[in-house]
């Protein structure tokens, strides 16, 4: 892919700031071909706090660039310079018009339009029903394709020894410039962990990784109980939660896309890890200590046993019958019943069961899930 000449000197338009970085847009104009737009992510090294590290992010992108994949963000170029806050790392990549979160939000439609000219008194306002928006994301057309694309990208990332650590819809870019096809691109490696990078391992040992990673509802259960020697399987859990959003029937607040679990986040309050734990256990049951050895051996075993006991609650999903498991999965993702292809529905359910184990060592890998999807071919 050709680079804009002298991109470092082109004027930049700031798009938005994150806590540690600035995203800017530049454009390359030409009379011979349409304008190309690019993004620059600028991160001051001295302001980034662990697990954020622009050097490690750049190293991960370089590593992934050796054999570029369609579903993984491609690093086009990079630079460093002295800025107001010390040395800044700049990475250049293509600009994408939308991310998956924005795309999904566009596919929720009000069930009943609100008449703005209808005057409500105080009592009527209090009793007015909550606006419910129907999910019209076309799962029959997109679900399998999107799932496979994300698995392809994530499988490649994992095979390079990298844990992404922040899989969520906002970190999935969408390229729809190629006709009717939609390409999903995994981005933002700002808190990724390379299990083969000596410098990163020295700063953050393999068995003492930072657990304050992932975002909100996408945080894997082992992270919630302090397991620090976690693996790439935390990304598999995050992917499960992300995909579960496609199969929810409705939303009441598009600032927070619904999923199979929730952490209490709404317009009036922030979510919390304890609410997320309770939601997970409500939906999939509580395993016994024997069924969750990584927490008992490497995590906050005392907290788990003290709050929930060591014997489980006899409703852990993996101990249920095949029929019960299927009903539980459908209960968490009701739009599975809207899939026209029964074999596809059963395949999705089988994959979700493989991904849903609270004990990450038996959670399916991307490769194992893709093997199951290949049976549909």
- CATH number of the CATH domain containing 303: 1.10.510.10
Is 116 part of any domain? no
| Per-residue pLDDT reduced to its tens digit, 110-123 | 876 555 454 555 55
Catalytic choice (152, 166, 188, 235): 166
Which domain covers residue 33, as residue numbers?
A: 7-97
- Of all residues in the chain, what percent are helix, strand and coil, respectively (each to 5)? 40, 15, 45
Does one domain contain both 199 and 329?
Answer: yes
Residues 6+ apart with CB under 8 A from 12: 24, 25, 26, 40
Does one domain contain both 197 and 256?
Answer: yes
Q: State the average pLDDT for the chain.
A: 92
User: In the numeric block, which tokens belong to residue 113?
Assistant: 């339009």
Query: Please, are residues 133 and 250 in contact by the beta-carbon 8 Å criterion?
Result: yes
Pick from 50, 73, 97: which residue ends a domain? 97
| Per-residue pLDDT reduced to its tens digit, 83-114 | 787 899 999 999 998 999 999 999 999 876 55
- Give me the pLDDT at residue 6, please: 83
pLDDT category at 159 given cuts 50, 70, 90 is: very high
| Catalytic status, residue 85 | no
Is 212 part of any domain? yes
Does one domain contain both 80 and 185?
Answer: no
- Give me the pLDDT at residue 178, please: 62
Least confident range of 42-51, 186-195, 333-342: 42-51
Pick from 71, 97, 123: which residue ends a domain? 97
Is 201 part of any domain? yes
Q: What's the mean pLDDT in 185-204?
A: 98
Does one domain contain both 224 and 165?
Answer: yes
How many whole angstroms separate alpha carbon 325 and alpha carbon 313? 16
Strands 22-28 and 250-251: unpaired
Query: Please, are residues 122 and 155 in contact by the beta-carbon 8 Å criterion?
Result: no
Report whether pLDDT(329) > 90. Answer: yes
- Give me the pLDDT at residue 274, please: 96
How many whole angstroms separate alpha carbon 219 and alpha carbon 265? 14
Does one domain contain both 85 and 166?
Answer: no
């Amino acid at each position: 892919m050709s680079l804009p000449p002298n991109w470092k000197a082109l004027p930049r338009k700031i798009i938005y700031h994150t806590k540690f970085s600035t995203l800017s847009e530049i454009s390359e104009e030409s009379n011979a071909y349409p304008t190309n737009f690019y993004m620059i992510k600028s991160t001051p090294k001295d302001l980034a706090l662990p697990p954020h590290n622009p050097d490690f992010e750049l190293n991960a992108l370089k590593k992934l660039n050796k054999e570029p994949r369609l579903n993984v963000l491609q690093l086009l170029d990079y630079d460093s310079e002295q800025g107001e806050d010390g040395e800044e790392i700049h990475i250049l990549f293509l600009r994408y018009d939308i991310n998956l979160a924005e795309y999904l939000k566009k596919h929720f439609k009000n069930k009943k339009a609100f008449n703005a000219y209808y005057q409500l008194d105080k009592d009527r306002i209090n009793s007015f029903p909550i606006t419910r928006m129907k999910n019209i994301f076309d799962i029959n057309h997109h679900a399998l394709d999107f799932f496979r694309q994300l698995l392809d990208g994530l499988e490649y990332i994992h095979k390079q020894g990298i844990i992404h650590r922040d899989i969520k819809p906002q970190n999935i870019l969408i390229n729809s410039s190629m006709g009717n096809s939609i390409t999903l691109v995994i981005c933002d490696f700002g808190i990724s962990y390379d299990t083969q990078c000596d410098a990163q391992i020295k700063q953050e040992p393999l068995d003492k990784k930072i657990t304050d990673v992932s975002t909100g509802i996408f945080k894997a259960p082992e992270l919630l109980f302090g397991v620090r020697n976690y693996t790439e399987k935390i990304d598999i859990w995050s992917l499960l939660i992300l995909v579960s959003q496609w199969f929810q029937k409705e939303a009441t607040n598009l600032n927070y896309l619904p999923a199979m679990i929730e952490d209490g986040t709404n317009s009036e309050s922030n979510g919390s890890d304890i609410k997320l734990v309770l939601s997970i256990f409500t939906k999939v049951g509580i395993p016994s200590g024997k069924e969750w050895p990584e927490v008992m051996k490497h995590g906050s075993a005392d907290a788990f046993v003290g709050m929930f006991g060591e014997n489980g609650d006899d409703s852990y999903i993996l101990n249920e019958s095949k029929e019960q498991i299927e009903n539980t999965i459908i209960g968490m993702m009701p739009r599975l019943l809207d899939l026209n292809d029964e074999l596809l529905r059963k395949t999705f359910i089988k994959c979700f069961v493989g991904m849903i184990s609270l004990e990450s060592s038996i959670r399916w890998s991307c490769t194992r899930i893709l093997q199951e999807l290949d049976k549909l071919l």
